[in-house]
Structure 1
Amino acid sequence: MKPRLLAIVPDPDGAFAQAGGVLSATRAVLGPEVHAVFDVDIVDTTMRAFPRPDLRERVTSGAGRGAAVLRSIAHRRPQVAIAFCSEGTSFYEKSALLLLARAAGARTWLSPRSGRAEAWLERSARARRWVTHVGHKLDGLLVQSEGWREVYARAGVPRERLHIWHNTVDTRIWQPIASARRPAPPERPFRFLFLGWAIEAKGLRELCAAVETLEARSGPQFQLAIAGDGALGETLREQAAEGRLPRSIELLGWVKGDRRADELARADALVLPTHVDGFPNVVLEAMACALPVIATPVGAIPDVVLPEETGLLIPTRDVGSLVEAMDRLRHHPEEAAAMGQRGLARARARFDRTVGVARLLELLLGEQDREGAPGMNTMTLGEEPRSQGAGE
């Protein structure tokens, strides 16, 4: 009989689902490999991002999730529980639900996935105390990179309970685009792609300023396609209608499915000058498409993008550095393509979905750090399911 897994995660097929790292990780948790090992109960935590839900809606949704978790604990008695959270209220809620599951005998794993968690911990002593408490009670925190491991270690979580679980990408899906990748020919503009939420925190204002500066410079023609929407999207559309947006910028709005693939295929480089981030999955998608990446060294990005090898890292909010990075790639398309090929190799070796799922099963089934791990109940999990998990 399979052990039971309680997954407190967003539903990737839910009404408010968007592309991104959290839903990519959810698809790993809810994928066929995990279902082959576990009997999975799902408590959907998806909520819309825009417009932001009011307090009443958030409280009602939270109460519904709490009731669903209590029903699962009472009637299904899960042996393992995992939850995804962001900072603030989300962290408090999901960790509290896991503490209930742990009190009922489950192994418990919390995966914080917010780019704003470091600032939250720095400004709130209450947050640090709670994170320390949770870090000593739960079986482990699944963090997205070495950098995030340091953030939670500084907050008081024992290092032995901090386990790195990277976001992943199914590189096979993007293989046709990667195989067709060639350096940008001189007869067409070098095409940069921004793909993500159209919000201030993603560095879009700096990116638009960089494009304006580049247009005033001599050099090869270029374009910037902005694919995404959000609070800043309407402002950019108004500027475009009034002729105040640089002429090299093309606003695409949301792109999904085949359109998303088409834009990744048309691009020559991804540019993401984000101010804060957890682990932007678009970076992995770009690398799987053999695109070089211009990004900022925030969140897990330094674990993914190797400067001068698979892309260029620039300081946050630094328009001048962004201009120089974009100018370099448009002048040297062969160098850009070579970075993209090295990024493709790195994505396949370290961030492919098969690697991530194997790591997840290793942790959920207790194959890693068995000695001294608190709350380990190997008799409950049983030998047969554990033998199906992927080890190192």
Structure 2
Amino acid sequence: MKRKVLEGSVLFISIIKWVFLAACVGAIVGLSTAIFLKLLGLGITAATGYKYYFLLLPLAFLLSIVIVKYLAPEAEGHGTEKVIEAVHKRSGKINPMVVPVKLIATIITIALGGSAGKEGPCAQIGAGLSSVLADLLRFDDRDRKKLVICGISAGFATVFGTPIAGAIFGVEVLFVGGLLYDVLLPSFVAGIVGFHISSSLGISYFHEPLKFVPIFSSFFFIKVCISGIFFGLCSFLFIEVLRYFKEISKKLKIHALYKGMIGGSVLVLLTFIFSTRYLGLGLETIQSALEGEQLPGLSFILKMIFTSITLNFGGSGGIVTPIFFVGATSGNLFGHFLGLDPKIFAAIGMVSLLAGAANTPISASIMAIELFGPEVAPYAAVACVISFLMTGHRSVYPSQILAIKKSSSFGVGKGKAMEDIVNVDVQLRDKSVIGVIAKGLKKFKKK
């Protein structure tokens, strides 16, 4: 009996402790996110007041590189990836200088036309502030890691206005196919508190409940499954385009400052050839896609290219907003091409690309409910999981750790970082569908 009372007492104290700490993190992150988003909005408004503001992109990349390289190298690239790396390799230890450096570098990049997102910096700023709090409280590595994960959840929840999806994202994004249940409660608390703090400070969020969703039918359900495969292939392509431009950047044996100038100049040229549509956050295009407007067919591919150049040639920002752009525009195209409702498939595509590219099908499915309403939930969930599987063993976050194999027919080592998985061997099983097909093909060839 004493042991049961002791167990209950320890759990009670632990719950009180983490609810309090998570609420503190949520409040801090909610405040910092509100400041960041307001400053970013002011920067975008000031810059876009000039018709050819994007001509300053080479200078933007140059400034971003200088600020990051000399003040906080950990702030390089898209923020969430660096936080995942810090959690896995340094128990969540993050240089405090990352917070102001990431804020300034991201505002410069996005305001002057760099194609990047706002969620990565918020996650990195939130995690950085959480790491500082953990150091002040002299936490051990385990507790610091939990607090930093709360920072990720709160950052994601406050930037998109999705507290539940944000909380799940923080515990899902670290491992492919694994959830950290011991951080679930504090992540929920941090996400919810952060969302309400930022809302009370005047941050408004996008919510677009779908007014019409088709009644369930086997024919429509099959179309949703096909869309999941399509979005998975788009996720696959986006990751490979990012990787391709990263390799190009590495092969250029010149100083990083010159790379920034080259990358910015290329984006200026591409903008004159195509459109300013693919610069910055691209929120107007996302909105147009969700409203069912006809968009250029190659919009999603061009956004991949603009984003890959930005993030690999000195720009600073996140990756999720571009993922939303690619998902919404590719879904819009899918709907128009097959004569379906482009609004529904733009919404499904938006969350399915997140599920595939970031390997977060659960948080993406929940986000569909928070952004578009419960009616689309069953279809979005199915498309998200299919997209997640179709993307394979790759990710926009190379530091993610593989916790499951996406098929028992693959020979891939669990526990590896995604960036370390170069080749995936196919291991045919006698009684599997693929194994039976392979045997049939061999017999056919012999005949």
Do both proteins adopt the same fold according to a TM-score greater than 0.5, normalized to the shorter chain? Answer: no
More strand as a share of residues: 1
Normalising by structure 2, report the TM-score: 0.28
User: Which structure dedicates a bigger proportion of its chain to helix?
Assistant: 2
TM-score by length of 1: 0.31
Instruction: Answer 1 or 2: higher relative contact order, Cα 8 Å, separation at least 6.
Output: 2
